[in-house]
Chain A
């Protein structure tokens, strides 16, 4: 297992159009390519930091939802794009995080400790159930994760200690070192900080040697295994990591809303995360962020439209389901790589055409 694998050999296995980064032939081109990227990160960060101040009351709540979804989807996108594993039950880990935070807070454990425990619990549980579950692949794993969430929802709904179907109410506000997170915008900053952490971790994992191993095993487990990638361990690690991200988002959610109930984590939420990841573009961090933002904002618009006067009561549900369905089908059939990689490809082709014409 410890034999050093030469870079050249790894690349043979890891070449995948969706996830391959553009190799820079020279330092000049690299600097040019990097500049718009750095610029984009800067602009997005500044806007993200200013938004809680600029937005009006109820819009901040939407913003928090968006950020929490983005945290979950970043992990899911890594799992689906890099490790090639589909999870249709990711809301289960969101639930575990939320219940961990809520249970510990309602049992007089310091809230910051509860928030720290949320991602850890989710990650540990994922690692435990991942040992048997990750033996499955493709659609079998998809159904297994779905089944796992259904079982979990049932257990939580049946048990007194988890508050049954009513859930746990009266979760206190999060307090860290004497500062109480009271306002919605304070939770927006908290979620933003968590998202930044998650993106940083994901970025470093992707760029590391295990990240390349993951890309290899998504293409072919047999080839990766024979090239010395510890397939089982890496799959388990990325599953657990993405569950930890979801748990972190869940923990923040519990303190933010003040109550958790099984009804807040339906199977449809898991599907929603998959829709976000697929539409944005699997295996890219930008894709996860764009997917989460696009779907959350779209749903918000539809909801406003649907609850407008003169609309029948079922209008919001009908419209959001229809849009989900149509978007998912169109993206999978016509933009199978997702929005962000497709846009990137288009941009690079345009650049290449321009450069070719000029020189």
Chain B
């Protein structure tokens, strides 16, 4: 029982990271129809930046916030390159973000080297029902819950959030009522960058990151987001948590090396299952 609790909580914590990454993908895809392959890179950049700032002597909290802002700025830059030029279709933009990922590799190696980095998060642990649980797990879960609540309020309550929603549901009509769709796309990219950054800052103390961690991060984030068809935030949250718990259970009860296989197979199954309901006619019509 204590084992189960341990796997559950650690799985939920890692799953929060996936959910945040997935929600970043959803935010960007909703508004711009671009699947941002560089989403995992935001988390890597934020995690590595936070580590450097902390070792430079900045206190906890300040360093993490600064790292998230850096990730947001990176998101804005990616957005400018990916959708700034008129007539870049979503498929081309996917390849462009792949290229940006390569470019980011170069920058990351130049600044941080090729070795994985980590930094100490919230120290200490608590005992619940015989399970030994790091405090960082609860910090991650709490922060992610806060982030998701803020995101939900932003989309439903604020003017900017509603404008983003308008672009998502009908770009033409949004333009007709005076919303700058391209600028909203850039806002979405910045927001997506910050969400990826939050994920990176929270997860890096749990598992170290290096420049090529982004491939696994993006596939897990995509797996979370695909549950909501890349347009809905709620299923992305659920998907991320389910994925994290599933991986943690496989690692705990079966074999750690198979955890990513299970997650990927789960993602494939969900995609194929969804595709059965969405025919070519449906996709080409929308």
List A residues at the B interface (Cβ < 8 Å): 86, 132-133, 135-140, 142-144, 146-148, 150-151, 154-155, 157-158, 220-222, 225, 231, 267-268, 271, 274-275, 278, 314, 317-319, 321-322, 324-329, 332-333, 336
Contact = CB atoms under 8 A, between A and B. Distances in A.
B102 A225 contact: no
A318 B106 contact: yes
A137 B274 CA distance: 12
Contacts, number: 130
Tell me the interface secondary structure of chain B in the complex.
helix
Contacts of B261: 150-151, 154-155
Contacts of B268: 132-133, 144, 147-148
Interface string B89-109: 011101110111111111001
B219 interface: yes
Nearest to A150: B264
A335 to B, nearest CB: 11
B215 A267 contact: yes
Interface residues of B, number: 45
B258 A154 contact: yes
Tell me the interface secondary structure of chain A in the complex.
helix
Contacts of A321: 102-103, 105-106, 109
Nearest to B272: A132
Contacts of B152: none
B30 to A, nearest CB: 14
Contact of A329 (B103, B216, B222, B272): B103
Nearest to B280: A221
B128 interface: no
A325 B100 contact: yes
Contact of A154 (B109, B257, B267): B257
B106 A325 contact: yes
18 contacts: A136-B271, A136-B275, A138-B90, A139-B90, A143-B226, A144-B268, A146-B219, A154-B258, A155-B261, A221-B284, A222-B281, A271-B102, A314-B110, A317-B114, A319-B106, A322-B106, A325-B102, A329-B103
B95 A274 contact: yes
Given A147-B268, A150-B264, 10 more contacts: A132-B268, A135-B272, A157-B257, A314-B109, A318-B110, A325-B104, A325-B105, A326-B103, A328-B96, A332-B95
B272 A136 contact: yes
A317 B109 contact: yes
B58 interface: no
Contacts of B283: 137
A146 B271 CA distance: 13
A274 B110 contact: no
A271 B102 CA distance: 10
A154 B113 contact: no
A158 B88 contact: no
* Most chain B CB within a 10 A radius of its CB, from A148, A150, A332: A332
A138 B226 CA distance: 13
A147 B219 contact: yes
A270 to B, nearest CB: 10
Contacts of A158: 257-258
B109 to A, nearest CB: 5
